[in-house]
Amino acid sequence: MSSVFDDLVGQEHIIDILKGAVAASRTGSDSQEMTHAWVFTGPPGSGRSSAAVAFAQALICPNQGCGVCNECQSAATGGHPDVEVIRTDGLSIKVEEIRELLTHVAWAPSMGGWRVVVIEDADRLTESAANALLKAIEEPGTRTVWLLCAPTLHDVLPTIRSRCRHLQLRTPSIDAVTQVLIKRDNISPTMADFAARVSQGHIGRAKYLATNESVRSNRKVIMQLPLQLSSLAAAFQAAQTLVDIATTEAHTSSEKRDEKEVEKLQEAYGKGATGRGMATGAAKAVKELEKEQKSRATRMVRDSIDGALLDLATFYRDVMMAQAGVTVSMINSDMRSEIESYATSFPTHTAAQKMSAILEARKHLAMNSAPLVTCEALMCELTRK
């Protein structure tokens, strides 16, 4: 029989725990297996929010997570009255959002089972939002289950995490990701292998890469950059190229969504309505939405640059491997000859230095440094022999 847990690649160690909790939740007693607050942590792409959503489905499904019944399907698509999935595209989850959430999760579950709240980016809760949430998590005897997701446990407020059961997801193996792409997404074995390898176990990115030709060709341009760094002028050019590609990629995926959101909002206010109050209300709401969208766009560009830097790091990682004479586990095996010739033309210690320069640049970006300047500084560093 199929199960909502089937898609959790390489996470057998937590699937058992979740299934145990679902079984225990049916007995009605507050046993050790079933608790009211959980934190799912794991590296990007390990599927922490998929795990949380699968758990939510299993908790409300009459068959403990069959994946095909109405309950399972509506929970996954956001249509189930007892399952609430909070995702943010902005930089933070604000206290107003949590307060509004608390007003409706306080009711008893409509179907008599559990009310499940998944917070996908618990690391983005502002401090006051986290404190508001803490009060709700502390409340005993409710039928609400809280599932928080974050990259690491340190990203969650200590007072919250001490009240949660912690599940740590692993980065799935490249083989496991390859198999999922082939079986679940009907991707050809060669493409699946390539995408899984260069995405380093990040399932979402692997699928995105395997199914988007433009993303693949952009990646190819990025991966050629280290080979072009022959002068400072080339370094500045490379930085510009990287930022341009990352920005375009981020914009194409956000523009369509932005338009749809504005349209939906205008519809909600009654597009073309002439009442004066209506018009100002709509204008204000659209303005607020556009502010949110702007902050999301900024974040997406940063994420996109970060992804490009991660790709670049794999180049130098492969150079290091080649210099050490280990070439079996090369990530960019499609660039084998370029990497091998680069490896012989640079002294062996430089690849490690360049990898730490990339790491440093990523840190600066995460602290909101200006993207182009950060990339320029990085490319100059990467140009050094």
Exposed e or buried b for every residue in 233-267, given b needs 16+ CB within 10 A?
eebbbbbebbbebbbebbeeebeeebeebeeebbe
- List the one residue out of 122, 120, 84, 130 whose CA is nearest residue 104: 84
Distance of alpha carbon 307 from alpha carbon 304, whole angstroms: 5
Which tokens is 335 given?
A: 């660039």
Residue 69 makes contact with Zn ion by CB under 5 A: yes
> Please, what is the minimum distance in Å from the beta carbon of residue 2 to Zn ion?
10
- DSSP assignments along 6-64, one per residue: GG-TT-HHHHHHHHHHHHHHHS-S--SS--SEEEEE-STTS-HHHHHHHHHHHHH-TTS
Query: Strand 83-86's sheet: what is its strand order?
Result: 83-86, 115-119, 144-150, 37-41, 165-168
Query: For residue 144, what are the β-bridge partners?
Result: 115
Contact by Cβ (8 Å): 40, 51: yes
> Please, what is the minimum distance in Å from the beta carbon of residue 65 to Zn ion?
6
> Please, what is the minimum distance in Å from the beta carbon of residue 119 to Zn ion?
22
For Zn ion, the closer CB: 60 or 238 = 60
Residue 61 makes contact with Zn ion by CB under 5 A: yes
For Zn ion, the closer CB: 69 or 265 = 69
- Among the listed ranges 18-26, 63-71, 83-91, 108-116, the one in contact with Zn ion (CB under 5 A) is 63-71
- Among the listed ranges 5-13, 62-70, 183-191, 301-309, the one in contact with Zn ion (CB under 5 A) is 62-70
- Among the listed ranges 53-61, 137-145, 260-268, 313-321, the one in contact with Zn ion (CB under 5 A) is 53-61
> Please, what is the minimum distance in Å from the beta carbon of residue 78 to Zn ion?
16
Q: How far is CA 123 from the centre of its chain?
A: 12
> Please, what is the minimum distance in Å from the beta carbon of residue 108 to Zn ion?
21
Residue 74 makes contact with Zn ion by CB under 5 A: no
For Zn ion, the closer CB: 50 or 383 = 50
Residue 22 makes contact with Zn ion by CB under 5 A: no
> Please, what is the minimum distance in Å from the beta carbon of residue 76 to Zn ion?
10
State the angle between helix axes of 276-323 and 213-228 in degrees (0 to 180), rounded to the nearest 10.
50
Pairing status of strand 37-41 against strand 83-86: unpaired
Could you tell me how many residues of this chain bind Zn ion (CB under 5 A)? 4
Radius of gyration of the chain (CA): 23
Which one of residues 14, 56, 59, 72 is an interface residue with Zn ion (CB under 5 A)?
Answer: 72
Distance of alpha carbon 333 from alpha carbon 143, whole angstroms: 51
Residue 66 makes contact with Zn ion by CB under 5 A: yes
Ranges within 246-275 binding Zn ion (CB under 5 A): none
- Among the listed ranges 8-16, 56-64, 153-161, 361-369, the one in contact with Zn ion (CB under 5 A) is 56-64
- Among the listed ranges 64-72, 97-105, 130-138, 233-241, the one in contact with Zn ion (CB under 5 A) is 64-72
Which tokens is 184 given?
A: 């679940």
Residues contacting residue 32 through CB under 8 Å, at least 6 positions apart: 24
> Please, what is the minimum distance in Å from the beta carbon of residue 229 to Zn ion?
54
> Please, what is the minimum distance in Å from the beta carbon of residue 179 to Zn ion?
24
- List the one residue out of 157, 137, 138, 139 whose CA is nearest residue 147: 137
- Among the listed ranges 71-79, 235-243, 283-291, 323-331, the one in contact with Zn ion (CB under 5 A) is 71-79
Residue 21 makes contact with Zn ion by CB under 5 A: no
For Zn ion, the closer CB: 60 or 322 = 60
Residue 113 makes contact with Zn ion by CB under 5 A: no
For Zn ion, the closer CB: 69 or 91 = 69
Interacting residue ranges for Zn ion, rule: CB under 5 A: 61, 66, 69, 72
